[in-house]
Amino acid sequence: MLYLNKGRTRMITQKAIDRFEKKIIKPKDTKCWLWTDKPTVKGYGRFFYNKRCIGINMMSWLIYKGEIPKGKLVVRTCNNKLCVNPDHLYLSTITEYRLKQNKKKKSTSKISSWKEKIKCRLASWGL
C-alpha cells in the first residue's frame, strides 16, 4: 500500500483503496478485473490520488503488490487496457517493454483495432 512521490515512499490511505475498489468489477466469465470509471481518449484507465493522476495498472500494483522500483514500468499481460487484476501485471524496463511492443505490432497487424475490441467486450458485459 505504497506510492512514490518525488522519490519518497508514502502510505496509500484506506479511503483511497476503498475508492479505487469501488470502480472495479470482477466478472465471473473472465479473469480480468475491469475498471468502470471513464477511460482516457486512448482507452486507458486513470485514478486521481493526492492531486495526481495515476495509471490504474500502477495504482493496482501499489495497492496489491507494493512498491515499484525506480526505472520500472507496470505492464499488463492480458492486453486489456481496463484490467486492474494484479495477477495480470508485471514489472518491466522501458527497453524490454518497447521490444515486446515492436514484436507484437509485427505479429498482430491483421487484428482489428483495440477500440473495437474494448467496445465489444464492454458491450458483452452490459457496460
Domain count, the chain: 1
pLDDT at residue 125 in the model: 65
- Nearest one of 121, 39, 14, 35 to 84, comparing CA atoms: 35
Say if 117 falls within a structural domain: yes
Residues 44 and 81 sit within 8 Å (Cβ to Cβ): yes
Say if 100 falls within a structural domain: no
Residues 46 and 53 sit within 8 Å (Cβ to Cβ): yes
- Nearest one of 66, 63, 45 to 54, comparing CA atoms: 45
Alpha-carbon distance of 81 to 90, in angstroms, equals 14
Say if 15 falls within a structural domain: yes
pLDDT at residue 105 in the model: 64
Say if 85 falls within a structural domain: yes
pLDDT at residue 95 in the model: 82
Domain that holds residue 117: 2-94+106-124
Grid cell listed for 39: 477511460
Say if 34 falls within a structural domain: yes
Please give the chain's pLDDT, 127 residues, in tens.
444 555 555 688 999 999 999 999 998 888 999 999 999 999 999 999 888 899 999 999 999 999 899 889 999 988 889 999 999 999 998 888 788 777 766 554 444 566 666 666 666 666 5
Alpha-carbon distance of 80 to 76, in angstroms, equals 7
pLDDT at residue 51 in the model: 85
